[in-house]
Structure 1
Amino acid sequence: MKLPSGNPAEVFFAFLKLGLTSFGGPIAHLGYFRTEMVERRRWLSEEQFGQLLALCQFLPGPASSQLGFTLGLLRAGWLGALAAFIAFTLPSVLLLLAFAAAIPLLTGATGEAAVHGLKLVACAVVADAVLGMSKKLCSDALRRIIAVLSAAALLLVSSTFAQLAVVIAAAVIGAYFIREITAPESDSGFQLCYGPRVGGMLLVLFVALLFGLPFIATGKPDFASVVEAFYRAGALVFGGGHVVLPLLQDSVVSTGWIASEQFLSGYGASQAIPGPMFAFSAYLGAIVSPLENTYLMAATALVFIFLPGFLLVAGVLPFWGVFSRHPTAGRAIAGANAAVVGLLAAALYNPIFTSGITSSADLVIVLVAFGLLVVWRVSPLIVVLWCVIASISQLWLFS
């Protein structure tokens, strides 16, 4: 065990910036995290970031939020993890609740152009992440082949289970066939403020809540049922983001807690905000029961949909360090990291590129944004402003 090297305030403001500017969904968030924490702040190495990313891809829960939670935990302990979660999530929660009420204002052509500009931001950010990570994590021919084959497989079969299968297969290939693994850096392990005993207790708590909460649920839209429904959704979803939507729909629409129109309007609003998709849960919690305190229910739904993923990743981390130091495990992780690069590359093409680039002008906007990130290394906020303003200007010029 080791005392953290940072402080919660530092973590809070770093993730508040990300919470306000991280448009584009979970895959794009990984690019924002890498740019800010690996390149700009140097809180951890590329290899450490790749290991954390592989771990979060393996576990159920919101992968990007689990990664942010873990980065805060490693930097400033438990308070740092809490600070990272609050700072990254709160802006999207507040924006989503306000944005849902203002949806009619964004149904016109200008509003649609602004939302389209946010999709172009994701294109540039993920392209930057794929380029940077491929240089570090695909340093030999075999790992480059693994990355290419992983991307091809995920473009052919697009599902969360396919992602998991590809990462596992790449880990197996890496364990048996990758040989050019350099000696790990002296600081390549994760220095935690707790040990395996606490990690084991967190894993036991995860299981106990998963199987125990259904006994207190009443089936009505009250506090106990909201706790159970949203914890179950967060615990049983692999990949996070859009994957959780069918589970939430089954929990709150099929049960009659909210109308389908309310669910879909909130989902539409969540497409145009920064931060995690799981913030959608706060919107659902706020409208699920008029008999309860609106803000209490929103906070309850939000906390319990994130809680299982955080319990899992924090519980596994103490054991992951020991596992990753084993030579065979190191080769397996190298293979899994190469597959993650392929996963990002596949996502860059579909859905990010295919849904974002609709004209040659869009391509020019993205190329300029990519240059701002890669060549001039400007703040992501500048890139967001450029893409949104350029997208709106394109509408005015060609309409």
Structure 2
Amino acid sequence: MPDSPPHSPPSPTIARGSVGEVLGAFAKLGVTSFGGPIAHLGYFRAEFVERRRWLTDAQYGDLVALGQFLPGPASSQVGFAIGMLRAGLPGALAAFVAFTAPSVVVMIAVAAGADLAGGPLAQGVIAGLQVVAVAVVAQAVWTMARTLAPDARRAGIAVAAAILVLFAGGTLGQIAAIAVGVVAGLLWCRGVADDERAIPLRFPVSRAAGIACLVALAALLALSPVAAAAWGGAASLIDAFSRAGALVFGGGHVVLPLLQAATVPPGWVSADQFLTGYGAAQAVPGPLFTFAAYLGAVSDIGPGGIGGALLATAAIFLPGFLVLVGVMPFWNRMRRLPWATAALRGANAAVVGILAAALYSPVFVTAIVDVRTFALGLVCFVLLTAWRRPPWLVVLVGAAGGAVLALLA
């Protein structure tokens, strides 16, 4: 699909589309979205707000706030919700499979003995891809701030949220920042004028379907430990990975200590195997939760190999998707209430602050290590913003630039 004209206004409604177009869009993101969950949110915004105009910034901010506030892999939940809005449940499943499958395949290959970082040139490519993530997140923060924090009150909420996340750190800091944004929105953002881009999202999920998903989640969490104790094997694998997926807020690196505790002390995976998989997970596009595919493939419990990889991957993602679909119809109802609209204005401003804090740490401080990587980051940022090049092209430029810097070093 060609790029939209730079000055054309985005559509205020969510137009329905085909499963095929959702699959194609997310397949491209699945092989180009490097840099972790925060960077993924930047890639999603560039693709679905800027380029395809499936969403407005305000609508996208609502999705990000919802993903940050629920347990599970935040960026994958946002992608799942975008697919749901565009093409219903088949679209949601297509978005998940297309975005996740490339990294699952790579992680299974690593479990089989493939080496992702064999030499300084490969390490340079990985470093260049991390620099691209800096540019993508910086663009997302800048453009979302103009829409979601356009006045002094909401800009103040964004700054307060960023400071809270930077000093508190971790998942609790992010959740606290969203909570502060909600309270501040209730106090200060009632009656704030929004333009047509603030039209609320309406998920195609009935109340009965939402309740069924929440019941299924409760049953999964209650019965999987019983099944693990009774049968072991694959049931234990499902229990461990579904519990990890259900207890994580924000996703990404937060799940790593839970996975380590679930797999290394019982002897399912050795410490060296765990570290090898973790290192590989940093170098692949797509969600970091696909680390579960590697662990399932090398685990001494369960089927192992491809079967173990797919089982662990399904188990770790399922709780986050069940809770997301479960709250969608209630989110529809709540979003129509005036007080909820004010609260979401504050939450969306807090999202800008959370992204700004993540832009500094871990994105910037990890990728920008000297003047050369800073220069490469500037090039990528200008390509995205002033030249309006698509993210996949900037990914290629960043990878090539990282390789060149590695050769010069």
Q: What is the alpha-carbon distance in structure 2 between the residues aligned to residue 261 and residue 369 of structure 1?
A: 35
Residue number in structure 2 paired with 1:352: 363
Q: What is the alpha-carbon distance in structure 2 between the residues aligned to residue 75 and residue 342 of structure 1?
A: 28
Partner residue of 1:79 out of 83, 90, 96: 90
- SS at 2:229 equivalent: coil
The aligned runs of 1:54-203 (5 Å cut-off) are 54-99=65-110, 104=115, 106-179=117-190, 181-182=192-193, 185=196, 188-203=199-214
Higher alpha-carbon deviation: 331-340 or 283-292 = 283-292
Distance 1:378 1:100, change over 3 A: farther
Residue number in structure 1 paired with 2:376: 365
**CA displacement 1:14-40 (0-9 Å, x = unmatched):** 000000100000000000001101111
TM-align CA RMSD: 2.0
Q: Does 1:12 align with 2:23?
A: yes
Aligned amino acid, residue 361 of structure 2: N
The aligned runs of 1:290-309 (5 Å cut-off) are 292=303, 294-309=305-320
Q: What is the alpha-carbon distance in structure 1 between the residues aligned to residue 298 and residue 60 of structure 2?
A: 38
Higher alpha-carbon deviation: 10-19 or 91-100 = 91-100
Q: What is the alpha-carbon distance in structure 2 between the residues aligned to residue 291 and residue 178 of structure 1?
A: 52
Q: What is the alpha-carbon distance in structure 2 between the residues aligned to residue 6 and residue 386 of structure 1?
A: 31
Residue number in structure 1 paired with 2:226: 215
**CA displacement 1:174-221 (0-9 Å, x = unmatched):** 111124522564982333333112111111111121112111003886
Runs of 4+ aligned structure 1 residues displaced above 6 Å come to: none
- SS at 1:218 equivalent: helix
Aligned amino acid, residue 340 of structure 1: V
The aligned runs of 1:202-241 (5 Å cut-off) are 202-218=213-229, 222-241=233-252
The Cα of 1:100 is off from its aligned counterpart by 5.2
| 8 Å Cα contact 2:157/2:181 also seen in 1 | yes
Q: What is the alpha-carbon distance in structure 2 between the residues aligned to residue 285 and residue 105 of structure 1?
A: 19
Number of equivalenced pairs: 397
| 8 Å Cα contact 2:203/2:332 also seen in 1 | no
Q: What is the alpha-carbon distance in structure 2 between the residues aligned to residue 105 and residue 166 of structure 1?
A: 36
| 8 Å Cα contact 2:68/2:175 also seen in 1 | yes
Residue number in structure 1 paired with 2:297: 286
The Cα of 1:147 is off from its aligned counterpart by 0.8
Q: Does 1:249 align with 2:280?
A: no
| 8 Å Cα contact 2:116/2:280 also seen in 1 | no
Gaps of 5+ in 1: none
Q: Does 1:343 align with 2:354?
A: yes
Residue number in structure 2 paired with 1:271: 282
| 8 Å Cα contact 2:205/2:325 also seen in 1 | no
The Cα of 1:162 is off from its aligned counterpart by 1.2
Distance 1:199 1:291, change over 3 A: closer
| 8 Å Cα contact 2:296/2:309 also seen in 1 | yes
- SS at 2:407 equivalent: helix
Distance 1:208 1:118, change over 3 A: same
Distance 1:319 1:117, change over 3 A: same
Distance 1:291 1:46, change over 3 A: closer
| TM-score, structure 2 as length reference | 0.93
Q: What is the alpha-carbon distance in structure 2 between the residues aligned to residue 128 and residue 223 of structure 1?
A: 43
Q: What is the alpha-carbon distance in structure 2 between the residues aligned to residue 176 and residue 241 of structure 1?
A: 32
The Cα of 1:150 is off from its aligned counterpart by 1.2
Distance 1:196 1:74, change over 3 A: same
